[in-house]
Amino acid sequence: MATGGTFGRSSHEPKYKIEFHPDESPFHHVEDQESLVMMNKEGQKYLCFLPKVEKTKIGKTVFQENTSNVIVETERRVKLTPDELLERLKGECLVRHEGWWSYEFCYQRKLRQFHLEDEKAVQEFILGVYDAEATAAFNHNLSDVYTLKDPRSKDASQRYHAHQYTNGTVCDLTNQHRETEVRFVCSESRVMISSITELSTCKYALTVQCPLLCEHPMFQEETPVWHTINCNKLPKDYRDADVDDSFRDKEITTITDIEVLSHYDSDHYAT
């Protein structure tokens, strides 16, 4: 289902940063971590390790196929369920102004739409009241994974956790009560309403960005991860060809045989 609104920029771009490690505490790389030898303008060489590749695409397909197993497993491993993680929102209300209308969402209470005139709310509609039963029924089926499809790429999607809000003001057009599905997504930014949209007449979807949810591994898929490139200084007489061999050797010897290394410079660290 489409939700529209604007996607936060940060939620999809990997964040890169470089760390230059001092000689005394070089970076220790992991097996088969790709590295590059870089030289700066002054001729100082560095060995830079690229972050372990972020190929989430593969992970995603697996995720979608074995959802029920995966979910149950992780639920067990993780201490808290999404609802428990969201508990901290209890008693909080969020407001969003969108043109003529303003929306106020109070966690597990109600969602209302109103027009502000001189700081007073005129024209108010209740878009839904928290319905614990409906929510429980909706989330009961563990194998259902609810995701928002992200047009940024044909595979990208963001998982959300839903609460149902029903029994709002009656709608003239449909003669039914207004209802809203409140969707919580993981996002590094602060807690806020990221969008409100009308799925069909008088049925709404409100998306709430929530860093709290990021602690749950299932919701983390789309968060920006810090991809750190780690660089160690290399001695000036360093030769590229020796990279793999020399480092492997040093790794072994340094730990066991420190005296043997006395003839090495202090720069020759195992990394």
Positions touching another protein (CB under 8 A) are 1-7, 9-10, 13-16, 18, 36-43, 48, 50-51, 148-154, 173-174, 197-201, 203, 224, 227, 229
Length of the chain as a residue count: 271
CB of 249 to another protein, least distance (A): 24
Question: Least separation, in Å, of the C-beta of 14 and another protein?
Answer: 6
Q: How far is the CB of 196 from another protein (least distance, A)?
A: 11
Query: In angstroms, what is the minimal distance from the CB of 216 to another protein?
Result: 23
127: nearest Cα among 196, 209, 173 = 196
In the complex, least distance from residue 72 CB atom to another protein, rounded to whole angstroms: 27
Which sign, positive or negative, has the C-alpha torsion 25, 27, 29, 35?
A: negative
CB nearer another protein, residue 83 or residue 101: 101
Residues 6 or more apart whose CB falls under 8 angstroms from that of 92 comprise 106, 107, 191
User: Is 35 or 108 the residue whose CB approaches another protein more closely?
Assistant: 35
* Nearest of 96, 124, 118, 94 to residue 107 by alpha carbon: 94
Nearer to another protein, 19 or 249 (CB): 19
Q: Which residues pair with 158 in a beta bridge?
A: 148
R_g of the chain computed on alpha carbons = 26
The sign of the torsion formed by the CA atoms of 130, 133, 135, 136 equals: positive
Q: Which amino acid is at 194?
A: S
Distances (CA, A) of 226 to 10, 12, 17, 36, 212: 12, 12, 7, 19, 18
Q: How far is the CB of 253 from another protein (least distance, A)?
A: 28
Nearer to another protein by Cβ, of 13 and 84: the residue is: 13
Cβ-based nearer residue to another protein, 109 or 227 = 227
Q: Which is nearer to another protein, 16 or 264 (CB)?
A: 16
Toward another protein, which CB reaches closer, 50 or 116?
50
CB-CB contact of 28 with 238 (8 Å): no
Nearest distance from C-beta of residue 60 to another protein, angstroms: 15
Half-sphere exposure of 113 (CA within 13 A, CB side): 21
| Distance separating alpha carbons of residues 178 and 166, to the nearest angstrom | 7
